Amino acid sequence: MRRGLLAPALLAAGALALGGCSSDDDSSSDDNSSGGSGKIRIGIKFDQPGLGFQDGSSYTGFDVDVATYVAGKLGYDEGDIEFVQSPSAQRESMLSGGQVDMIFATYSITDDRKKVVSFAGPYFVAGQDLLVAADDTSITGPEDLEGKNLCSVTGSTSAQRIKDDYAQGTQLLEQPGYSECVTALVAGQVDAVTTDDIILAGLASLPANKGKVKVVGNPFSEENYGVGLPKDSDKCEDINTAIKAMIDDGTWQELLDKNVGASGYKANEELNPPTPAACS
């Protein structure tokens, strides 16, 4: 009798437990307070101050703030966002393999990349530039680097462009990261550092570097930062609409000033703020 009575009770309890698990799972993966959009994984850089930077469980920078704004317009709360480290060399494979839903990571739109992934935007137009000592007036552009010492990361296209097109006699010091380059600049071991201007501005904005270095402000390339998406994504139009709203309501400028304004950096006004390109 006891066994016969116990079995239905166990079955009922099991059904309730399963029902509870199912409800929790649905809540965490399919619903949020914004109307059921669920979670979103956004690729960013973890090591670019002022753009995409991880400090413990916190993420800061212009790319992070723009991504958060756009995600909000798509119906996601901040708590619905999972930021995922997206190194440059892995961005296409992460999108194609479904590891992230979109990428905001100083991701320049190029024809070669568009063969593999899709892009919304651009949301910013950068240019390769130079970082020099704050009191240096001798370097105003890449052509002034003839015979001088230049630092960039290993394999930098910016450094190679300088050697190929502007100053063949430039002596190049390669480092694994830009923070090491800035350290060498402050120590007087090199005369300049090169990469995209907004990346340089983020480095210059760090408290340890304030007043010691400056961005020259003479960009010698055009880098359209886009939102990386899986190929043939249906999110492009909605993201472009969000970017336009961000620009129109003044948030774009506020986020730029907040993250890199301390360096004195000013975005190229002929190119910024940009107009998102038509989705294709």
Inside any domain, residue 253: yes
pLDDT at 37: 55
pLDDT at 35: 42
Inside any domain, residue 29: no
User: Taking the C-alpha atoms of 56, 60, 63 and 67 in order, what is their torsion angle to the nearest 10 degrees?
Assistant: 80
Same domain (yes/no): 137, 210: yes
Inside any domain, residue 51: yes
* Per-residue tokens: 169: 């006699």
Inside any domain, residue 251: yes
- Residue 200 sits in which domain range? 128-215
pLDDT at 247: 98
Last residue of a domain, one of 175, 194, 215: 215
Same domain (yes/no): 203, 75: no
Same domain (yes/no): 116, 240: yes
Q: What does the pLDDT look like over 12-61, one tens digit per residue?
A: 444 433 334 333 333 333 444 344 459 999 999 998 999 999 999 999 99
Inside any domain, residue 206: yes
Same domain (yes/no): 76, 58: yes
* Cα 48 from Cα 64, distance rounded (Å): 11
At 68, which CATH number? 3.40.190.10
Per-chain mean pLDDT for the chain:
88
Last residue of a domain, one of 180, 215, 250: 215
Q: What does the pLDDT look like over 205-257, one tens digit per residue?
A: 889 998 999 999 999 999 999 999 999 899 999 999 999 999 999 999 999 99
Tell me, rounded to whole angstroms, the distance of Cα 261 from its chain centroid.
Answer: 17
Same domain (yes/no): 117, 52: yes
Same domain (yes/no): 74, 64: yes
Same domain (yes/no): 120, 227: yes
Same domain (yes/no): 211, 136: yes
Model confidence at 64: pLDDT above 80: yes
Inside any domain, residue 22: no
Mean pLDDT of 161-182: 93
Same domain (yes/no): 114, 228: yes
* Cα 82 from Cα 64, distance rounded (Å): 11
Q: How many structural domains comprise the chain?
A: 2
Residue with tokens 């002596």: 171
pLDDT at 42: 98
Same domain (yes/no): 183, 78: no
Inside any domain, residue 27: no
Can you tell me whether residue 128 is helix, strand or coil?
A: strand
Inside any domain, residue 117: yes
Same domain (yes/no): 231, 244: yes
Is residue 40 within 8 A of residue 81, CB to CB? The reply is yes
Q: What does pTM read for this prediction?
A: 0.80
pLDDT at 211: 92
